[in-house]
Structure 1
């Protein structure tokens, strides 16, 4: 992949990595759970305190990573992989993002206008892993991050993420509280934005999985220790893992 940049180089991401940022007391159980959910291997720990782990798919490039926090509640953040880091951070700033960290490793930590943490990073990746086929014949894959946005900043967050990525806002899936960003199907993660009923507060996120058999996949997750919180009749199920933040499972082609 070339790194030469000019005015025609896209500012938006060519790859997305979702990070599970885990509270220290939840880290070990959560990593084991998500290994079971995804069927992926676990990389050796890295970082100054062994705080980073990558979930390694059987094929394709990785896009799910884990960070053990020094403290605080578990959460999700995103890494947007870009060709021209300086140009991307200028673009993000012009749209209302704030730089909140410049680690020595060379990436930048930012907050969206609504307060959602994300990073702009370098690093090549291009091959989306295939969904995993489970005993019984159904498939599944983590393929979505849903940004949960309070009502007041919702329109602004939709506009920010659309303009930052260069992806158009598409149909709302028949539900007024949802908007989706169209994206290149070669990317492993798609964006859904959900408008919450609460008027204000921070923007947060949860992971979403797609499966060809929601009942079978839900049962598999329960065997791994997840608890069903809400089996929504509109086509998805909310689950809480034995450690870490809640997530959704939807019946659609992964």
Structure 2
């Protein structure tokens, strides 16, 4: 039975690395090397955007120079009608920060918990394959984690469930919920309860690999730092301090053949 999805349900999800201006060159080189992608030509009215172009498929990782504030990650939700999607998001509790403008065609919003995200109109349909490395293993950025302090979690869970129209389920870990993302999407979406006193919601990237040891060795050689190790994942920071995780899962377990 088909399910009617809201106008804000994305056909594609991209992650944007918003790198502080002083970290842009170093951070761009690091993420291109870590992901096995190629940096596109710079674009944008202020020459602020680049894309991490995969060897196959459509891109789902992009970089933006951030002229004020530290580095962070935000999400781009690709939808057919950005204005209609934004209007629905506002009904759910979002706030529009920058309305759609004809020349750029995107809307900037913040979620109820203060997470920045955009509705964009670019079309993409084909997922890229994991990158194979000389050591014989593979890896891929295939998930974003929306990290919410406990007091903001319930509102954020409801918001992202209703905004995307995707079912929300609990995981084996009590602090995590997972959106049931369609298999055509390039990124899984996890929502995590933070046990700290963060003032607003944030996002980090997760990579999966079939050889955690080899992948961590590669990241550290490129300038990353290991911050914490858990049973199933390792927390790292890129050369500029932006946090992300590496998990031990086959990186193509949900990629269509």
CA distance in 1, matches of 2:246, 2:100: 34
The corresponding residue for 1:202 is: 200
The corresponding residue for 1:73 is: 70
Secondary structure (helix, strand or coil) at the match of 2:185 reads coil
The corresponding residue for 1:161 is: 160
The corresponding residue for 1:56 is: 53
After TM superposition, the runs of 4+ consecutive aligned structure 1 residues lying more than 6 A away are none
CA distance in 2, matches of 1:21, 1:244: 13
Alignment of 1:144-183 (within 5 A): 144-172=143-171, 174-183=172-181
CA distance in 2, matches of 1:113, 1:204: 12
Deviations 1:154-179 (A, max 9, x none): 0110111011011111231x111111
The corresponding residue for 2:39 is: 42
Secondary structure (helix, strand or coil) at the match of 1:230 reads strand
Shift of 1:214: 0.7
CA distance in 1, matches of 2:73, 2:83: 24
CA distance in 2, matches of 1:145, 1:244: 17
Q: Is the 8 A contact 2:6 2:165 kept in 1?
A: no
The corresponding residue for 2:254 is: none
The runs of 5 or more residues in structure 2 that have no matched partner are 252-257
CA distance in 2, matches of 1:200, 1:138: 36
The runs of 5 or more residues in structure 1 that have no matched partner are 1-6
- With the length of structure 2 as denominator, give the TM-score of the two structures: 0.92
CA distance in 2, matches of 1:115, 1:135: 41
Shift of 1:190: 1.1
The corresponding residue for 2:224 is: 226
- Work out the number of aligned pairs and report it: 246
The corresponding residue for 1:4 is: none
The corresponding residue for 1:30 is: 27
The corresponding residue for 2:86 is: 89
CA distance in 2, matches of 1:226, 1:89: 36
Q: Does 1:241 align with 2:217?
A: no
Secondary structure (helix, strand or coil) at the match of 2:87 reads helix
The corresponding residue for 2:127 is: 128
Secondary structure (helix, strand or coil) at the match of 1:86 reads helix
Q: Is the 8 A contact 2:18 2:71 kept in 1?
A: yes
RMSD (CA atoms): 1.5
Secondary structure (helix, strand or coil) at the match of 1:156 reads helix
Deviations 1:80-129 (A, max 9, x none): 00122232112211111110112531211001000100001111100000
Shift of 1:201: 1.3
Shift of 1:71: 1.7
CA distance in 2, matches of 1:37, 1:250: 14
Alignment of 1:109-124 (within 5 A): 109-124=108-123
Secondary structure (helix, strand or coil) at the match of 1:25 reads helix
Choose from 184, 194, 205 the match for 1:186: 184
CA distance in 2, matches of 1:171, 1:86: 32
